[in-house]
Amino acid sequence: MVNRSRLSIFASLIFLLAGSAYAQTQPVIPPSVPNPAIAPAGGRIYLAVSVDKSGQAVTGLQQQDFTLLDNKEPRTIASFAAVTGRDAQIQVIVVMDAVNATLQNVIFQRQQLDKYLRAEGGSLSYPMVIVVLTDDGLHAVSGSFTTDGNALSAALDQDQVGFRAIQRSAGYYGASERFQICLKAMYQLVASLSKHEGRKIIIWISPGWPLLSGPEVMLDNKQEDRLFDNVVNLSTVMTKLQITLYSIDPLGAAGAPEADWTYGQFVKGITKPNQATYGDLGLPVLVTQSGGIAFGSTNGIADRVRQCLSDAVPYYEIGFDPPATDKKNEYHQLQVKVAGGGLKAHTRMGYYDDPASVVKSNR
């Protein structure tokens, strides 16, 4: 189940929202979404559905055990497969965030990730690649996906990118800068995965980037339109590329005091531009909407990585054909129900209509 733990990294940002200087400053619009080549609109959508009972994964279910609702209306299940163990055709991308964490915390992340990679003789269940996010963007620690954890660990030991001191503006301008860096990296990473078939699991080790949202933030119509386009495009690409996103807050006990303001208010999918805020593109929001889990502050990063993968597999792949439409950007809420007492299904929260032949980049 989704951990809606409050993100402590946002505590200092809340105080910035109250300042008069902030009211005079408009947030900077994030970069445009890249234009990856993906399946044409109207093609089948595949959902990765995990089922649990009292927190334990449930296997052995059949297609007739599932009911798929699209905007509360039953939708025909066109394809079904039960996926278990190492038979799962998935690729894992681990992102180490050196933009929103301190240098000391980045070092700790690397130690914990090294612990995970070298466990069980260095044999990984699924092909994995590790990338580091710094002010300069994403940097791949290894050149390709591999199940050799020892080789990934050795490459991580040789890589020095994550140890670079991060220099940026302080206060609101610094928060806006971090937001831009992280969203640009997210778009680039998702676009790069368009070349890979099958399901992808992204594990983003980060306290998250600033939400940049609050009562003092006043957006004009153009800004709202562009934000809405960002939300729709990113959701659509992640849906069609079968990406499930997880996040692990690595700050642990060293984090700042928790804020009373959480990301939960942004999780429900927005349906029109005048609802758009920067919080709709927050890391835990994207995680929750994709069907993943946003893990709260922890010192046990290695254990959380294992937990991400144990949540992701086993799963059931349910395919359905969205209704033909000439509408654009209409939001569809998804719900999967499972027959049987106490069984709960978890999957992505929804999708947007996209009548274009491919997902268009933001203007």
CATH of the domain at 67: 3.40.50.410
Number of domains in the chain: 1
Q: Give the residue with greater pLDDT, 45 vs 327.
A: 45
CB atoms within 10 A of CB 220: 8
Q: What is the mean pLDDT of the chain?
A: 80
Scanning the chain, the segments in alpha helix (DSSP H) are 11-17, 20-23, 103-118, 149-158, 171-192, 221-240, 283-290, 301-312
The boundaries of the domain holding residue 44 are 8-352
275 assigned to some structural domain: yes
- Could you read off the pLDDT of 89-113 as tens digits, one per residue? 899 999 999 998 888 888 888 999 9
Task: State mean pLDDT over 228-239.
Answer: 90
Return the pLDDT at 114: 93
Say if residue 6's pLDDT is above 50.
no
259 assigned to some structural domain: yes
Return the pLDDT at 12: 29
269 assigned to some structural domain: yes
Q: How far apart are CA 331 and CA 190, in angstroms?
A: 21
1 assigned to some structural domain: no
- Could you read off the pLDDT of 336-350 as tens digits, one per residue? 999 988 999 999 999
Return the pLDDT at 196: 87
Return the pLDDT at 3: 40
361 assigned to some structural domain: no
Task: State mean pLDDT over 174-187.
Answer: 86
Return the pLDDT at 211: 83
359 assigned to some structural domain: no
* Count of H-run helices and E-run strands, the chain: 8, 16
* pLDDT level of residue 30 (50, 70, 90 thresholds): very low
133 assigned to some structural domain: yes
Q: Give the residue with greater pLDDT, 150 vs 174.
A: 150
357 assigned to some structural domain: no
Percent of the chain predicted with pLDDT > 90 = 47
